[in-house]
Amino acid sequence: MKYRVIKGTKDILPVETAAWQHVESVVRRTMHLFGYREIRTPIFEQTGLFARSIGELTDIVSKEMYSFLDRSKESVTLRPEGTAAALRAYIENSLGEQSPLTKLYYIGPMFRQERPQAGRLRQFHQFGAEAIGSPSPLIDVEMMLLAVEIYRSLGIDKFSLKINSVGCEQCRPRYKEILIAALKNIESQLSPDSRMRIDQNPLRVLDSKDEHDRLLTAGAPLIKDYLCGDCKKHFETLISLLDSLALPYEVDGRLVRGLDYYTKTAFEISSAMLGSQDALAGGGRYDLLVEELGGKRTPGIGFAAGIERLMMVLEKSGTHSFTVPPPDLFFVALDDHARRWSFGKTYELRRSGISAEIDYLARSIKAQMREANRQSARYVLVVGEAELASRTGKLKNMKTGEETEVTLDALNIPR
RNA sequence: GUGGCCAUAGUUCAGUUGGUUAGAACGCCAGGUUGUGGCCCUGGAGGUCGUGGGUUCAACUCCCACUGGUCACCCCA
């Protein structure tokens, strides 16, 4: 084969697009229900935007970005996530000046140059929401409800919502020192990966997949016990809200998000039906990010969800099988004259909203009937010399096999 | 970036200790019905056995490299 898709990318074929469109429409409907409006930003941006927002030291920025120099030697990057661009657009277009709270959603492709595996692609698709302007835990909860509602609307109810607080610029540095001190004590027993993480990103050590690491850190200090007054209150309110709504959740003191910009609330929705990459959606609060990107100091929160992983869950739970509606009428034409007449009629019917189809290969009647059957056409009309002469024909119901006499010039296809 | 497994028709897969015309099912095309689909019967098309090298009288089969896929680690949606 001469050309093939680039590693880690995939064609979404006609058999799958109906399911994708269904998911997209549920996403849009739910977003609108919750008062979020769509924003469409370019799929590439100045490299600095991502480096600045996501964090230079994160894996995404340090080794996974699709960056290249354009013809004017400017470094541009295919977006690895959606929040940075949404906030750039928010600031650039002064959306915050028009109303104090801006609620946005997006849906589209993202790019990260990682080694592909189950549930991980180099071009993948996400939908996500951002609420910019409110520091209230109410909006944190709305964000979780929004994500959960989308999954439920799609018939997915086996997932778990994990929440944590990662603190703020006040309490996180203090906690980090305490954690590093604790980790240094057991450093020699930790896995090589975790040993490196102590300096790079100590919080990561806590959610290591290495079983020995987990045992060793069982009693390690957790950030939720070291939150400052403000963060603590925020987290407690959040929890009481979730309790009052009877939204099942689990506090996971080891939950860490991979992007630097999160403050206070962090959450993740994961599915046991997926493989090793089990996160369906992840999000959190980013109270410093707007300012970091050059806007006014404005609190915000958002989440992003992977569509491919969602599709995997739908497929595994057997709730899929979406199809486009079949043709209402298939013309079987027996000669050139009939073909021309049927072709014209097809167009006429389509213009009046009836989905009509015709054979384009001048095949035998048997082959045309087979084609009509393959396409699951609801009705078939055989057109030959006799029909054109009498201006009447037999409309065949393909399900029952029964035929009824019709006049060609006033074709009426039963619903 | 590291590691395991895999690579044969359009698809899912067989292929004996290496042995001469590489098979099946499904799908596709045609006929059985010179104007009627679905089921059935008959026939047909379709493969540089991922690529390159090596061993051998002989390689789909053994060895090496590469490419691609897949799963896992790192990390994440």
Signed CA dihedral, A17, A23, A26, A27: sign only = negative
pLDDT at A320: 58
Structure tokens at A245: 């709504």
Contact A109, A125 (CB under 8 A): yes
- Strand B nucleotides, any atom under 7 Å to a protein CB: 1-3, 28-33, 35-38, 68-77
A315 touches strand B (CB under 7 A): no
pLDDT above 90 coverage of chain A, percent:
77
Higher-confidence residue of A324 and A137: namely A137
In this prediction, residue A204 carries a pLDDT of 86
- Could you give all domains of chain A from N- to C-terminal order, each with its CATH number? 14-170+228-316 (3.30.930.10), 329-410 (3.40.50.800)
Q: Which nucleotide is nearest to A115 (CA to C1')?
A: B1
State the Cα–Cα distance between residues A118 and A99, nearest whole angstrom: 42
Distance A383 CA to B70 C1' (A): 51
Please say if the pLDDT value at position A406 is more than 70: yes
Rounded Cα–Cα distance for residues A4 and A402 (Å): 47
How many whole angstroms separate alpha carbon A283 and alpha carbon A281? 7
pLDDT band, very low/low/confident/very high, at A55 (cuts 50, 70, 90):
confident
Backbone angles phi and psi of A369, in degrees to 5: -65, -40
Residue A79: pLDDT over 90: yes
326-385 of chain A touching strand B, CB 7 A cut-off: 334, 363-367, 369-374, 380, 382-385
Predicted ipTM > 0.85: yes
- % of chain A surpassing 70 pLDDT: 99
Residue A275, pLDDT above cutoff 90: no
- Quick check: A202 pLDDT over 90? no
Average pLDDT (A375-382) is: 96
Ordered DSSP codes for A358-371: E-SS---HHHHHHH
Q: Rounded to 5 degrees, what are φ and ψ at A291? A: -65, -40
Residue A412's pLDDT band (boundaries 50, 70, 90)? Answer: confident
CB A397 within 8 A of CB A403: yes
Which of A 20-49 have CB under 7 A of nucleic chain B?
none
| Mean predicted confidence (pLDDT) in A339-356 | 96
Average pLDDT score, chain A? 93
